[in-house]
Amino acid sequence: LSRIGDELYLEPTASGLSLRAVNSSRSAFASFLFAPLFFQLYEPGGPAPGTECFRCKVHMKSFLGVFRSLPSLEKSVGKCLILLKPRASRLVLQLHCKYGVTKTHNLAFQECEELQAVFDTQCCSSRLCAPARVLAEAVVHFPLTLAEVTLGTGPGGKISLRNYTEDEAEPSKTMVTELWLAEDEFQSVAVSPGSCITFCLKEFRGLLTFAEASNLPLTIHFDEPGRPVIFTLDDTVLEVHLVLATLSNLESNSQTPLTNGVSHLPTPSDDFADDLGSYMVALETSTCEGGPPSPTFPLHTPRPAQRDPEEEDEEDEEGAVPGTPPHKKFRSLFFGSVLTPGGPGLAPTQEVLAEDSDGEC
């Protein structure tokens, strides 16, 4: 989760403890749901009737700081107690260690709104499932500095992975790495032939590392370019989702207005020299029922000032991997906020789609 965002969102629910993160450009979202059975003891301390679940967020670094030096942790820590104390505004993490020693960390948290990207794996036309190892071994061929990778389906059920290069780049000066995986390397393949999607590799690598360590098969749900790609890991006590925005094709340019009240957005201008020449397709707020294709519109990304690049780089163990580069090209994922019909038209320079709505239950 720290590969995605700087803040860790915690939400204890009846179905388990949900940990989530989103990146600054809101083009990547991940959630880990630990079922009650994962824990020795799980008491969500349900909300009083009529109130919503308690949610909070803490600084990722503060939380990770409690669990530093993993090898020694495994040797010396017997159990970990997590307590959420709303009245004291503290998240308590207590490690019970060898020799009767107890380490108690009282982390300050902030209450927050729900963080939930809108996505539906049922809507995806393609699905792949492979052991994490297969994908990890494939991804290792790409340099750590590579920002985006393109996953494609080819003839004979083969799946390709290729590094994504920008159109402006000189073909003679760029190195292209492409590899093909046979259908039998996958546990299941149900794909639309000829489809391909491009997404951010860095955020995906984070999940891959986790998947490999936990030995779980990874399922990739995807659809047309521009629609988010959803990576899932499933286990009896853990459900993981990673939702990444994907690059849309320049060709797909339809602009049918959405039916649920989202304002009609202006057509993309031909002059997109300022942008990196990418258009994105928005997610729909309503659940997908084979609705009309979403409009595409110019990409206007949040200014880099919103993200602290040094901070992100510091968190990176590899060091060479840049901060989330696609925030220049990838549109924000739609985050389930309810826009009022006929609401203010979004100015082309405003990219406020991931609104945090107030008073959401």
Partner 1 sequence: AMQPPASGEPFVLSASLDNARHLSNLLRAVHFQDHATCFATASGLRVTVEDAKCIQANAFIQAELFQEFAVQEESVIFRINLSVLLDCLTIFGTSSLPGTSTALRMCYRGYGYPLMLFLEEGGVVTVCKIKTQEPEDLLDFDFCSTKVVNKIILQSEGLREAFAELDMTSEVLQITMSPDKPYFRLSTFGNAGSAHLDYPRDSDLMEAFHCNQTQTNRYKISLLKPSTKALALSCKVSIRTDPQGFLSLQYMIRNEDGQICFVEYYCCPDENITEAEL
Residue 81 engages partner 1 in binding (rule: CB under 8 A)? no
Residue 59 engages partner 1 in binding (rule: CB under 8 A)? yes
CB crowding 81-90: b at 16 or more within 10 Å, else e: eeebeeeeeb
Closest to 81 (Cα-Cα) out of 68, 69, 65, 97: 97
Taking CB under 8 A as the criterion, the residue among 40, 51, 69, 236 binding partner 1 is 69
Alpha helical stretches, state H, 221-337: 309-315
Subset of 165-224 contacting partner 1 (CB under 8 A): none
Residue 107 engages partner 1 in binding (rule: CB under 8 A)? yes
Subset of 22-51 contacting partner 1 (CB under 8 A): none
Residue 65 engages partner 1 in binding (rule: CB under 8 A)? yes
Backbone angles phi, psi at 51, to 5 degrees: -110, 160
Q: Which is nearer to partner 1, 59 or 133 (CB)?
A: 59
Residue 108 engages partner 1 in binding (rule: CB under 8 A)? yes
Which strands sit side by side in the sheet containing 110-111, from one edge to the other? 110-111, 56-59, 7-13, 16-22, 28-34, 238-244, 229-234, 217-222, 126-131, 188-190
Residue 315 engages partner 1 in binding (rule: CB under 8 A)? no
Q: Which is nearer to partner 1, 62 or 255 (CB)?
A: 62
Number of shown-chain residues binding partner 1 (CB under 8 A): 19
The answer to whether 315 and 61 are in contact (CB under 8 A) is: yes
Residue 303 engages partner 1 in binding (rule: CB under 8 A)? no
Q: Which is nearer to partner 1, 104 or 192 (CB)?
A: 104
| Binding span for partner 1 by CB under 8 A among 101-109, 133-141, 149-157, 336-344 | 101-109
The answer to whether 132 and 216 are in contact (CB under 8 A) is: yes
Q: What is the gyration radius of the CA atoms in the chain, in angstroms?
A: 21
Residue 102 engages partner 1 in binding (rule: CB under 8 A)? yes
- Give the separation between CA 79 and CA 153, rounded to whole angstroms: 45
Question: Which residue ranges make up the site for partner 1 (CB under 8 A)?
Answer: 59, 61-62, 65, 68-69, 72, 76, 90, 99-108
